[in-house]
Structure 1
């Protein structure tokens, strides 16, 4: 066959695909055309490519798997972190006449048995499940009689240890996907830095995953920061913002205590408000979420337990009472506003002391070398009679949380000290580890702690910045928007602050007199500096709070001083 004839056949197949997609869009989904980003993702998936799609909130990520699921002959498995998110998407698919089901802890035994039977018989095109469920050999075995054409991982940043919402349950996905016959993967997220992108590929065992990044810029979101000098002032400013801003909105707090205090203030003021946090009973959380989603309450006060996958498109404002841990989390949470494309307000109330709350959360207990060694020795002993299931390993020390055991097992697998078979059981390899081996594995999470601290500093730099808020976000994510200089809609664009000589205040120096405060770092031309995303470079010039740096790759980039540290 000539090259010309092969090209004709290829073009013909593309034309058939385009027609099939067009028909599905109009007849099933009621949509006239795909956006460019959606088209690129769907084409990659239909070409059989493992794909990571980074698309902003409200850009139609769900269509990127729903259309291939209708075109592929087999079953599409969608891994989702939240049952409420599955429920919303499942109801939508059933309304469209697409065969779909869910398997999670919300089902009765009868409902679950019916779902499992339907999966084995090929009754469903799309199956939703949690990462915890997909990690069980029994559930994976349900798919043996059918072909799994695609595995979708929603909120894929959760799989990365560098991601802002890392969940250990995602660590078993690679082995589970292999056990399903190694089908193509579509990973979906709204945000991912370069480090997170690389780690997602690594954790999935697909280091060359095809990355499609449509950018984060959403011009309908108007960002601003409101400074507060004490907690009472912050609550009063939050109350005023809620009263002055029309439409429905979300008020986020970092702690349950602050959420409950803000809820009480709004309720006493006569606002239509409800509350959501992890300490409420599950049934109460659901009732409160339903009241907000159904329009029975105008305002939702919540911790970050509320929000992932929440799709209330007419949300007109998102207010943060406390600074989040990093800019990824802030973008994700603030991005729940304005999904309908209409203007929306994203407001951060910044009190310097709130940084301490996030510092407390960052002091997590990551695996130590001694714990890794103890777990390895335990698995080695248990494996004397054959591979060891995860549940049996958890019984070794009931004081250690199952989530932490998962992290330890993943590290031991990455260090080639353990292997996992298709039944998802564990066994030691022939490696002969030394203490240095375990020390190096534990260092991975020491590095994560350091990066968490740097990410918090960058979040604070955003809060005190005098530059365009969107410019700060775009620079952080390395996102370049053609012709973009400033958004002209954020607080700093509308009312440029007066530039003052900046000083850097360390946490242990809050109580010092002003004359005792040390001056912030001065970066002279020629100085070696470090920017977390781009590593080490050389200062070329500085103007006010902007520093231009030359990097070894030959590129010159300009950053705010808050993002730059001495090398």
Structure 2
């Protein structure tokens, strides 16, 4: 059994917290006792602590599989600032620095090692980790490992094999969103079907959910400006296409705004610098594709706009979950232009190449032979695609081929190699018509949610198999999908049960209530009870100033 005193001292000394959130402590105890676990916590719910804290107590090292290099680097830097012995290995670390880190691993200098699944394609790395004492495997963003998930990555499909390479240590898989069938598949891929599941509810009462039909690009722009001016930053505006981002950037700059732009075609330095600047900003606005946000831990994001419809409710929920982590009200609005559905349908086509396309890519690589590395994705695209040359089918196919050991390496790193020809009919096993059908159904479900006339939270929760009551605090509950910012800023938060203090006495106010003090109207953000009785933190409706009000010493009226 684990020592409770030791767990709490590590929490306090290394992470600066006095108490755990939700079921964090229960997960940590289970992991420290050698159990496997699947943890589903909303974005900002404290998933990382569930493996970071055990890593400081377990005798060996914890290996963390993470999908993004930038995310790994951010987490390692944050841990190092806390005095935690953590490192990461990726293709951006070369020469003496990589050699020093590899030696440090062998000499037991680290408690946590962050890597991408692709790193296990390197024989010298696999040989090294097999010699290490691995106490725990943590798989972050676990939904990526199965085609049942909304963000499937072929390399993540090999995680079960990676676990075997590490000697099948106790394993914890973590994600913000996973439907029941996705949960089952994650555990099957990992080879831990009996792992204990820790499932948090997906309730985020501080998020005001809204979906607004629009009929033109001009209407989209005007609404975005209205939200920026009416709500204020920090905020994130998601667009599906890079060209849509750049067009929106031009329009906003002409109107006097100075947004950052983030997408996958920027350099690593540009993306990292922009992310750091946004993290430090008080009112910055980011225009981004869905490449932005994973690993963002900024508590004061006041709005998230989806300028174009996302491909699934899972993606939508994960992205809006980045707002309002400080517990204050945040607007999450989706702008729905019907023609945007066609864009998402194209993405689904590109993410699910036909078997004939897969074989065509392999045939081109066979023609190039041992000099394939000297060519490029663009050359394959020019050969196979007469139009839509900007689509991602070639990249998707190479990823699928890499996951089945048909190719290794990459054009970008100059080491792409065709390892073997396809077996007869193998292309039909590589791609799945069933996955394409699931992706289309998820998009249809997203479109139905936008058009729904029932409470946003109720219909969202139904998709994840969670029962709930109408929230009283979304655009539908407060009067339909044309919700205006006045209703948003002045809504009371819905009919939630009022908590009691230790004596059983209910507080006179709750978060979201409106009060008047003198001539000022204020919205309650926080309710507390100390030696001098009940007090609240409240935001003034005109100046947005936050004041602390001692209720037993102030004349106030509920509105």
Could you say which residue in structure 2 is the equivalent of 1:59? 45
Query: Which one of the candidate residues 440, 451, 467 is aligned to 1:453?
Result: 440
Q: CA deviation at 1:438?
A: 6.9
Give the secondary structure class of the aligned counterpart of 1:81: coil
Whether 2:292 is the aligned partner of 1:306: answer yes
Measure, in 2, the Cα distance between the counterparts of 1:335 and 1:189: 12
Taking only aligned residues, the RMSD between alpha carbons, in angstroms, comes to: 3.1
Q: CA deviation at 1:75?
A: 0.4
Query: Which one of the candidate residues 199, 205, 209 is aligned to 2:185?
Result: 199
Q: 1:372 to 1:245 in 2, by over 3 A?
A: closer
Measure, in 2, the Cα distance between the counterparts of 1:365 and 1:333: 20
User: Does the aligned pair in 1 maintain the 2:143–2:182 contact within 8 Å?
Assistant: yes
User: Does the aligned pair in 2 maintain the 1:272–1:297 contact within 8 Å?
Assistant: no
Could you say which residue in structure 2 is the equivalent of 1:487? 471
Structure-to-structure mapping, 1:340-351, within 5 angstroms? 340-351=326-337
Structure-to-structure mapping, 1:243-262, within 5 angstroms? 243-262=229-248
Q: CA deviation at 1:32?
A: 1.4
Measure, in 1, the Cα distance between the counterparts of 2:370 and 2:172: 32
Whether 2:211 is the aligned partner of 1:218: answer no
Structure-to-structure mapping, 1:353-432, within 5 angstroms? 353-364=339-350, 366=352, 399=380, 404-405=397-398, 407-408=400-401
Q: 1:269 to 1:368 in 2, by over 3 A?
A: closer
User: Does the aligned pair in 2 maintain the 1:470–1:486 contact within 8 Å?
Assistant: yes
Query: Which one of the candidate residues 77, 98, 117 is aligned to 2:103?
Result: 117
Whether 2:161 is the aligned partner of 1:168: answer no
Could you say which residue in structure 2 is the equivalent of 1:131? 117
Give the secondary structure class of the aligned counterpart of 1:92: helix
Query: Which one of the candidate residues 452, 455, 462 is aligned to 1:475?
Result: 462
Q: CA deviation at 1:477?
A: 0.8
Measure, in 2, the Cα distance between the counterparts of 1:64 and 1:270: 44
User: Does the aligned pair in 1 maintain the 2:301–2:324 contact within 8 Å?
Assistant: yes
Q: 1:265 to 1:427 in 2, by over 3 A?
A: closer
Whether 2:5 is the aligned partner of 1:19: answer yes
Q: CA deviation at 1:372?
A: 7.8
Residue by residue over 1:519-547, the C-alpha shift from the partner in whole angstroms, topping out at 9 and shown as x without a partner, is xxxxxxxxxxxxxxxxxxxxxxxxxxxxx
Could you say which residue in structure 2 is the equivalent of 1:535? none
Q: List alignment gaps of at least 5 residues for structure 1.
A: 1-12, 382-390, 414-424, 499-567
Measure, in 1, the Cα distance between the counterparts of 2:163 and 2:60: 15
Residue by residue over 1:460-504, the C-alpha shift from the partner in whole angstroms, topping out at 9 and shown as x without a partner, is 111111111111111011123xxx311111111111479xxxxxx
Whether 2:320 is the aligned partner of 1:334: answer yes
Residue by residue over 1:192-218, the C-alpha shift from the partner in whole angstroms, topping out at 9 and shown as x without a partner, is 012211221222233333221112111
User: Does the aligned pair in 2 maintain the 1:252–1:318 contact within 8 Å?
Assistant: yes
Q: CA deviation at 1:134?
A: 3.0
Normalising by structure 1, we get a TM-score of 0.73
Could you say which residue in structure 1 is the equivalent of 2:453? 466
User: Does the aligned pair in 2 maintain the 1:74–1:148 contact within 8 Å?
Assistant: yes
Could you say which residue in structure 2 is the equivalent of 1:145? 131
Q: CA deviation at 1:408?
A: 4.8
Measure, in 1, the Cα distance between the counterparts of 2:333 and 2:305: 5
User: Does the aligned pair in 2 maintain the 1:273–1:297 contact within 8 Å?
Assistant: no
Could you say which residue in structure 2 is the equivalent of 1:185? 171
Q: 1:222 to 1:28 in 2, by over 3 A?
A: same
Structure-to-structure mapping, 1:414-563, within 5 angstroms? 439=428, 441=429, 445-480=432-467, 484-496=468-480
Q: CA deviation at 1:393?
A: 13
Q: CA deviation at 1:401?
A: 5.5
Measure, in 2, the Cα distance between the counterparts of 1:206 and 1:367: 31
Q: CA deviation at 1:139?
A: 1.3
Give the secondary structure class of the aligned counterpart of 1:142: helix
Deviates more, 1:65-74 or 1:395-404: 395-404
Give the secondary structure class of the aligned counterpart of 2:129: coil
Give the secondary structure class of the aligned counterpart of 2:326: coil
User: Does the aligned pair in 2 maintain the 1:58–1:340 contact within 8 Å?
Assistant: no
User: Does the aligned pair in 2 maintain the 1:140–1:176 contact within 8 Å?
Assistant: no
Query: Which one of the candidate residues 56, 71, 87 is aligned to 1:101?
Result: 87
Give the secondary structure class of the aligned counterpart of 1:224: strand
Normalising by structure 2, we get a TM-score of 0.74
User: Does the aligned pair in 1 maintain the 2:138–2:173 contact within 8 Å?
Assistant: yes
Could you say which residue in structure 2 is the equivalent of 1:239? 225
Could you say which residue in structure 2 is the equivalent of 1:84? 70
Could you say which residue in structure 2 is the equivalent of 1:266? 252
Measure, in 1, the Cα distance between the counterparts of 2:131 and 2:187: 28
User: Does the aligned pair in 2 maintain the 1:54–1:188 contact within 8 Å?
Assistant: yes
Would you identify which runs of 4 or more consecutive aligned residues in structure 1 move more than 6 Å?
370-377, 391-398, 425-428
User: Does the aligned pair in 1 maintain the 2:237–2:286 contact within 8 Å?
Assistant: yes
User: Does the aligned pair in 1 maintain the 2:262–2:271 contact within 8 Å?
Assistant: yes
Measure, in 1, the Cα distance between the counterparts of 2:371 and 2:40: 36
Give the secondary structure class of the aligned counterpart of 1:113: helix
